[in-house]
C-alpha cells in the first residue's frame, strides 16, 4: 500500500483483492530495483534506490572484491603479499562482476536497506539498532545456552552496524547460498578476464574458514529457534529491534529473511500486512506495528478476519524473491 491505507474499506473479499493488487504492485517495484541499481552503480555519483543506498551497495561490493583479491594474492605470493594492496582498477573490475550477479546485488541491497531502516527507527522511535529490550532479556536468561547465544548475537549485530557505517561486507557474514555465488563469480571473473583460474588453495582456504552458523544471520536464526513459542515476542518491533523482528517474521511466515526486511519498506506495506496476518497477528497488533514503522498507514480492522493460512497463501503467490529481484 504505497498510499496510506485510510482509503481501504468494505468487506473481506474487497480487502483481499486490494491486498493482492498492492502485493503485485510491490512485486513490480522490486523487479525494477536491480536494473536501476545496476545502472546507478555503473554511473558516477525509484523511491527504493537512494544515493545513500547506492553508496553503501557500491562500498560493500568493493569490500567483497578486496577480500577475494587479497586471498588470491596471499595464495600466489605468500608472506610477500602482506602489507600490499591490489590496484584500484582490479578492485573495480571484480566489484563490477559481483554487481552483475543479481543474487549478490540483491542481498547487498537488502543489507543496505536494513541498516537504513534501523537508523530511521532509531531516530523516529528510539529503537536501538544493536541492543533491544528483548535481546537484553535473552542475555539475562537463566538458561546458559540461551544467554551465551544472545551475547554472541549482540556482538554480531554490533559488528553489522559498524560494517555498514564503513560500507563493508565481510565474506564470513554471507549466507551460504550467497557465499558460494560470490566464489563462483570470482572464479568466472578471473577465467574470463585474464584466462587464469583462481588458485584452488585460495578457494579451499576461504571455504574451510566459512561457518554460516557463526554469521549474524545464522546466530539470529538460532536465537529465534531457541526461543520456541516465545519467539512471538520478537514480532513486537520496539521490543525486539529490527534484526530479531525480521528474523522472527521470516521464520513464522516461511519466507527468506531478505523478503521480511524489504517488507518493512513503505512501498511494501501490503507484503508486511499479509506477513503479519500470516504470523497470526490480529488487526490491533498489526496496526501497532505499523504505527512504529509507518505511522501514516492505517490498517483496516477487517484484515483480522483474513485467515492466517489464506494470508500465507497470498504471500506465497508473490512473484518477488528479493534475493532474485531481477525476475
DSSP structural state of residue 238: H
Contacts of 109 (CB under 8 A, 6+ apart): 33, 34, 37, 53, 57, 322, 325
User: Phi/psi class of residue 207: alpha, beta or left (left: φ > 0; alpha: ψ in -120 to 50)?
Assistant: alpha
According to the model, what pLDDT value does residue 41 have?
60
- The helix (H) or strand (E) run that includes residue 284 is helix 283-293
Domain locations in the chain? 5-324
CA 73 – CA 75 distance, rounded (Å): 5
pLDDT in tens, 58-102: 999 999 999 999 999 888 877 555 656 778 899 999 999 999 898
**Residue 41: how many CB atoms within 10 A of its CB?**
19
Q: What is the pLDDT of residues 256-314, one digit of tens each?
A: 999 999 999 888 888 999 999 999 999 999 999 999 988 888 777 788 888 999 999 98
Question: Given the C-alpha cell 497470526, which residue does it identify?
Answer: 280
The per-residue pLDDT for range 166-217, each reduced to its tens digit, is 999 999 999 999 999 999 999 999 888 777 889 999 999 999 999 999 999 9
Listed in sequence order, the DSSP H helices in 167-215 are 176-194, 200-209
pLDDT at 48: 56
pTM of the model: 0.84
Phi, psi of 140 (to 5 degrees): -90, 10
Which residues lie closer than 8 Å to 166 by C-beta, 6 or more apart?
59, 63
Question: Positive or negative, the Cα torsion across 185, 177, 102, 51?
Answer: negative
Total residue count of the chain as it appears in this document = 327
Amino acid at each position: 500500500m504505497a498510499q496510506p491505507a485510510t482509503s481501504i474499506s468494505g468487506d473481506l473479499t474487497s480487502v483481499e483483492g486490494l491486498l493482492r493488487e498492492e502485493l503485485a504492485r510491490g512485486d513490480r517495484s522490486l523487479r525494477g530495483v536491480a536494473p536501476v541499481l545496476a545502472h546507478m552503480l555503473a554511473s558516477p555519483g525509484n523511491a527504493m534506490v537512494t544515493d545513500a543506498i547506492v553508496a553503501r551497495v557500491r562500498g560493500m561490493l568493493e569490500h567483497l572484491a578486496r577480500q577475494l583479491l587479497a586471498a588470491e594474492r596471499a595464495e600466489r605470493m605468500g608472506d610477500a603479499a602482506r602489507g600490499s594492496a591490489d590496484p584500484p582498477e582490479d578492485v573495480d573490475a571484480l566489484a563490477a562482476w559481483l554487481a552483475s550477479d543479481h543474487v549478490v546485488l540483491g542481498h547487498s541491497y537488502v543489507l543496505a536497506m536494513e541498516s537504513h531502516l534501523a537508523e530511521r527507527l532509531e531516530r523516529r522511535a528510539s529503537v536501538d539498532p544493536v541492543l533491544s529490550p528483548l535481546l537484553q532479556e535473552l542475555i539475562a536468561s537463566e538458561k546458559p545456552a540461551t544467554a551465551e547465544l544472545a551475547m554472541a548475537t549482540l556482538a554480531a549485530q554490533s559488528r553489522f552496524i559498524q560494517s555498514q557505517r564503513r560500507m563493508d561486507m565481510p565474506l564470513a557474514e554471507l549466507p551460504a547460498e550467497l557465499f558460494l555465488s560470490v566464489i563462483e563469480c570470482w572464479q568466472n571473473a578471473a577465467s574470463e578476464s585474464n584466462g587464469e583460474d583462481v588458485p584452488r588453495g585460495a578457494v579451499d582456504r576461504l571455504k574451510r574458514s566459512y561457518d554460516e552458523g557463526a554469521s549474524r544471520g545464522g546466530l539470529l536464526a538460532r536465537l529465534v529457534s531457541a526461543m520456541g513459542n516465545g519467539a512471538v515476542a520478537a514480532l513486537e518491533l520496539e521490543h525486539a529491534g529490527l534484526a530479531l523482528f525480521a528474523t522472527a517474521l521470516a521464520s513464522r511466515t516461511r519466507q527468506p529473511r531478505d523478503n521480511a526486511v524489504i517488507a518493512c519498506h513503505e512501498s511494501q506495506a501490503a507484503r508486511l500486512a499479509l506477513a503479519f496476518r500470516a504470523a497470526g497477528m490480529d488487526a490491533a497488533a498489526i496496526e501497532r506495528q505499523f504505527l512504529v514503522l509507518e505511522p501514516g498507514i492505517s490498517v483496516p480492522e477487517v484484515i483480522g478476519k483474513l485467515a492466517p493460512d489464506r494470508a500465507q497463501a497470498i504471500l506465497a503467490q508473490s512473484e518477488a524473491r528479493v534475493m532474485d529481484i531481477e525476475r
